[in-house]
Amino acid sequence: MKKIFGTTLLLGQRDIETIYGKFVSVVFQDTILKTYVIALIYCDTWNNMNDRNFNNNDEVYIRIHSSCVTSEMLCSQDCDCVQQLFGAIKKISDAKSGILFYLIQEGRGCGYISKARACQLVQYDELKGNKNINTFEAYSLLGLKPDYRSYHNIKEILHILGIESLNFILLTNNPDKLLGLKELNINIYKTENIEYEPNPFNLSYLISKGKFGHDLHLLKNSNVGYTFPYQPILPFEPFNLEKYSRFIYVASYYLPIKNMYNWFYIPNLNKDSELYTVINKFSHPLNKNLFNINDETAKKFNINDPLWFRVYLYYDITTNLDYIVLEYK
C-alpha cells in the first residue's frame, strides 16, 4: 500500500469494534488543508484488499459522509446526518462489504460558524411564522455557496488502497454528490438511497433538501409540526466579547436535543392518565419525573419532547477554534 498520493497522506490504522461489527479505521490527512479523512473499512473488505482477493469490477458499498457535530456529538434532532451515518455503517455490515469515508466537512463544507449562522436565520424566520427561508436560501443570503465539499481525497485514498477499479455502490440521496464523484472519475456503478423517517424537528430541513433535488420518498407521509417554546433569537453581526476580546460571538440558536438512553423528563404527569399507568413503573429511582420509555410507547403517546438547549457559538482568534456553549432552557 502506498503512503501518499496527491495531497493525501496515510497516517495510520487500527482495528475497531463497532456495535455493527469489526472494522478497520484508516486515517488520512490532506497535506495542504490539514483536514483528516477516516476510511472505516469493513474487516472482510480490508482483508480482501490486503490479500488481493478482489477482482476488477467486484461490487463494494461506499458512503461518503460529511461530519455533523450537532447531531453526531450533541444528539440534536434537527437533521438526518446521524441516522445516515449509523444507517450506512449498518448497511455495510449487513452486506459484509464496504467502506465509509468520514470527512470533516461541517455544514456542507462551510464550517460550523456558517452552518450555525444559517440555522439561526432559518429558525428566526420560522419562529416569526414566515417559513420562507430554507437552508439553501439562508446560505445564499449569508454570501455562501450551496456546497463547499470536495472529494479529491477520496479519489486519492482509493488509489492508495489499490481499489480504484472496483464497482462502487454509493449510499446517498444526493444527486450532486454522485455528480461530484463522477467528475473525479470515481467508478460509481449505481447508487442506493439511505433515507429514514423524518421527525418533527428535521422535517422542514428534509423538505428543503427534497426541493433541492435530494431523492427522498418518506416526506409526504409525515406532516407533524411542533410548537417552539421560546422567543426567536434575532440574527446579529458577530462581535468581540467586551471583556474577552479574543472571542468573537458569531451565532446563537436553539437545538432540540434527543433524550439520552430513552429517559424522558415529564413533570406533573396526571396520575389518572393512561400514560401514567403505562410508564409509572419505569420512573427513575431518584427522580419521579424521569421515565425510561421505549420507542414504541413514546410513539404511541406522541412523546417526542426534546431537551431544548440554546447554542452560543464563539470563535477564538488566538487558537482558530470554534467553541460551543450549550445552555439548558
Q: How many CB atoms lie within 10 A of CB 17?
A: 9
For residue 92, CA distances in Å to 22, 25, 39, 55, 60 come to 11, 14, 13, 19, 9
Shorter beta-carbon distance to Zn ion: residue 71 or 134: 71
Minimum CB distance to Zn ion smaller for 107 or for 235:
107
Please indicate whether residue 149 is annotated as part of the active site.
Answer: yes
**DSSP class of residue 68?**
-
Give dist(CA 78, CA 109) in Å, integer: 18
Least distance in angstroms from the C-beta of 79 to Zn ion: 3
CB of 106 to Zn ion, least distance (A): 9
CB of 248 to Zn ion, least distance (A): 23
Closest approach of Zn ion to the CB of residue 57, in Å: 34
Nearer to Zn ion, 71 or 114 (CB): 71
Q: Does 71 bind Zn ion (CB under 5 A)?
A: yes
Q: Which is nearer to Zn ion, 81 or 257 (CB)?
A: 81
User: Among residues 80, 36, 43, 39, which one has the least CA distance to residue 63?
Assistant: 39
The C-alpha R_g of the chain, in whole angstroms, comes to 22
- Catalytic residue chosen out of the listed positions 30, 78, 125, 147: 147
Determine, following the binding rule CB under 5 A, whether residue 114 of this chain makes contact with Zn ion: no
Q: Which of 149, 305, 310, 322 is catalytic?
A: 149
DSSP strand E in 73-143: where? 99-103
Stretch that binds Zn ion, among 23-31, 71-79, 157-165, 222-230 (CB under 5 A): 71-79
> Amino acid letter at 137?
E
Q: Which three cell numbers stand for residue 233?
A: 433569537
Q: Output the smallest distance, CB 289 to Zn ion, in A.
A: 30
| Binds Zn ion (CB under 5 A): choice among 24, 39, 68, 138 | 68
Q: Which of residues 73-102 bind Zn ion (CB under 5 A)?
A: 79, 81
Told to judge if 108 belongs to the known catalytic residues of this protein, a careful annotator would answer no
How far is 213 from 79, CA to CA, in rounded Å?
A: 16
CB nearer Zn ion, residue 76 or residue 191:
76
Residue 262 DSSP one-character state: G
| Selected range binding Zn ion among 64-72, 83-91, 213-221, 263-271, rule: CB under 5 A | 64-72
Q: CB under 5 A: which stretch of 32-40, 69-77, 212-220, 225-233 binds Zn ion?
A: 69-77
If one counts every other C-beta atom within 10 angstroms of the C-beta of residue 34, the result is: 7
Residue 219 makes CB contacts below 8 A (sequence gap 6+) with 198, 203, 206, 207, 210
The CB density around residue 25, as the number of other CB atoms within 10 Å, is 17
Residues contributing to the site for Zn ion (CB under 5 A)? 68, 71, 79, 81
Residues taking part in catalysis: 147, 149
